[in-house]
Amino acid sequence: MTQKNYSSLCDDFYLDMYINTELDLPTERDTILAFFERVQKQFPSMTCFFRRGTNDCYLEEDRNTGKYRWISLETDRIGSGFVNPSNIEEAYCQDKLVLELVPYMLSVSHLDIASLDVTFTMDFDYTGNHDEIIAEALLAHSSFSCLLDLPCAKPIDLTPAIVVALTEDSLTQARITVESRGHIKQKQGLDEAISLSFTIRQYPTTTRKFAPLKSFEHQCRLAEELMDEKIIPNIVRPLTETIAQKRFM
């Protein structure tokens, strides 16, 4: 693992891990509090505890700093994330702790894991038409641009996404989504970032015992390689260059 900092390439960077389970997670008060207290022992600044809905519980650092950790327990999913880490190793340490704790404190065995996700997300702030930015940066030289040549045509809801299998058994997959939310927020007089989300998902194999920590480390290495070799040069840079051009027009 390296000490990379993807925050310099965007306005906000998020590194998230999700453990998706086959069975519902424990809902007993003592179990939930014991788990979060153990996490807090490792990261004392995570002091914001709250519940949303019936069973979703969260432990976070102060969001107002712009850089914070969070962990969530949902019905059938455990989340661990870091917003704007100084380097990605900061986030990896937290995720590894969660992976080490859940078998013993939440009774999540290897049999219970439906899939494991590692997600890198980048937000790009832009005041204006997000769909036009995405269309110009990513679709200008594609077959989809033929519709934009029509009189008065302009993109109004553009969210390109693709999922690809990275192995012959299709159990390792990559998903990338570029999401435009600007047209929704602009109606409300607000601005929101263009969001690029890149996920490496691993499904357990039926031929051997699933090792979550080993899988996580492999997924992180794979995510970094694809970010550096594919995502940044072919998607991130065209987006940031197009945004920069529009701002100075």
Predicted pLDDT at 5: 82
Where does the pLDDT of residue 187 fall: very low under 50, low under 70, confident under 90, or very high at 90 and above? very low
Residue 196 contacts residue 178 (beta carbons within 8 Å): yes
Instruction: Please give the structure tokens belonging to residue 211.
Output: 């090792």
Give the model confidence (pLDDT) of 52-92 as tens digits: 988 899 999 999 999 999 999 999 999 999 999 999 999 99
Neighbour count for residue 54 (Cβ, 10 Å): 7
- Predicted TM-score (pTM) of the model is 0.91
* Mean pLDDT score across all residues of the chain: 91
Give the model confidence (pLDDT) of 15-31 as tens digits: 999 999 999 999 999 99
Is pLDDT of 183 > 50? no
Across the range 107-131, mean pLDDT stands at 95
Please state, in angstroms and rounded to a whole number, the distance separating the CA atoms of residues 43 and 16. Answer: 17
Predicted pLDDT at 184: 46
Residue 15 contacts residue 128 (beta carbons within 8 Å): no
Give the model confidence (pLDDT) of 122-177 as tens digits: 999 998 889 989 999 998 888 877 877 788 778 778 899 999 999 999 999 999 99
Predicted pLDDT at 182: 52
Predicted pLDDT at 101: 98
Please state, in angstroms and rounded to a whole number, the distance separating the CA atoms of residues 145 and 133. Answer: 13
Q: What is the DSSP string of 111-134?
A: GGEEEEEEEEEEEE--SS-HHHHH
Is pLDDT of 197 > 50? yes
Residue 147 contacts residue 165 (beta carbons within 8 Å): no
Least confident segment among 35-49, 169-183, 209-223: 169-183
